[in-house]
Amino acid sequence: MNELAGIFKDTRKHLMNGVSHMIPFVVTGGILMAVAVMAYGQGGVPPEGTWMATLWNFGSTALNLMVPVLSAYIAASIADRAGICPGFVGGMISISVGAGFLGGIVTGLLGGIVCYYLKKVKVPKALSSIMPIMIIPIVGSLVTMGFMQYVLGAPIAGIMDGMTKVMEHLGNGNKVILGAVCGLLAGFDFGGPFNKVAYTFGVATVSAGVYTYAGPMAVTMTAPPLGCALAAFLAKKKFTQEEREAAKSAVAMGCVGITEGAIPFAANDPLRVIPSTMIGAAAGGAVGYLFNITNPVAWSGLIMIPVLGNPIGFLVSLAIAVGVTAGLMILLKKDITEEAAGTDEGDLDIDLSFE
């Protein structure tokens, strides 16, 4: 139990290891997708058969790998190389069941813990040579994937269905509350199941010819990455060098409505970042309905300004959302030097050797 407590005590170190390896995938994928959307110029995914669609697919491929990479290197931080396979495939299952990056954190921690203890199992000498290349990866992967598929998969699907029904009910009532709820969902998991509930609701209303619901959605989907970036620019001491670099790509991704730009910040410090993005996006979504912003295209980002109804209201709502997000993050986060006190930065390096 003391070893397990030690693993959880070092959770921040494990998360930072996953985030540091994930950021290049987020930056590469996000920038390529942002360029594709800007070149298309009409918001949304470029049509198939164009070079812009090819570029979008390249970026999407890189971005889709961020959760498996995050999961793999969280696991590797706990169990060294033995945790990479279970963490990676666990992250892939997390995507398939719609658990997003939060599911990737779960599979990374679980896969790492399982493999950590499997490495301690005493086996006959004849089996010792195949433990690291067969038994540990296979058993660790089965446990990690099985947990995500059968334990978390069904509840996530049920929650999504229930939230969709709540959104439909709110659509017939107080729109300000609906805007706040959209913001809470959009700012929670950045492309994950809760975010997709809000986005799917916006798409459905646009398809039905009702544009008032998708207007505030343009605010709530844009604010998280821009708010995180603003906080990193204003309070550099509270963010790692990698996060400050990721802030630059987060601006580009926010401008074209790719909410995943906030993931590096949330994965590194979820307990402080996620509440900040949720409250900020909720404030922007609620104000957005007061301004009666309309959006004929189910997409978000600053590039949508030319097609929005009441673009001034959009900018004001977005400024509120971004300001609240950044302000809360700066208030809640501690200086990096303070958080890392007593921790040897060399501990963040990955030891790929087996004990």
Q: What is the pLDDT of residue 350?
A: 35
Q: What was the pLDDT predicted at 72?
A: 96
pLDDT band at 91 (very low <50, low <70, confident <90, very high): very high
pLDDT number for residue 217: 84
CA distance 191 to 303: 19
In three-state secondary structure terms, 2 is helix
Q: How far apart are CA 68 and CA 121, in angstroms?
A: 26
List pLDDT tens digits, range 211-268. Answer: 777 788 889 999 999 999 999 999 999 999 889 999 999 999 999 889 999 999 999 8
If one compares 3 and 185, the residue with the highest pLDDT of the two is 185
Q: Tell me the mean pLDDT in the region 293-319.
A: 89
- pLDDT surpassing 90 at residue 34: no
pLDDT at position 353: 40
**Cβ-contact 275, 57 below 8 angstroms:** no
Task: Give the pLDDT score at 93.
Answer: 93
User: For the chain, what is the mean pLDDT?
Assistant: 86
> If you write DSSP's letter for every residue of 39-88 in order, what string do you get?
HH-SSSSPPTTSHHHHHHHHHHHHHHTHHHHHHHHHHHHHHGGGGHHHHH
Greater confidence, 142 or 155? 142
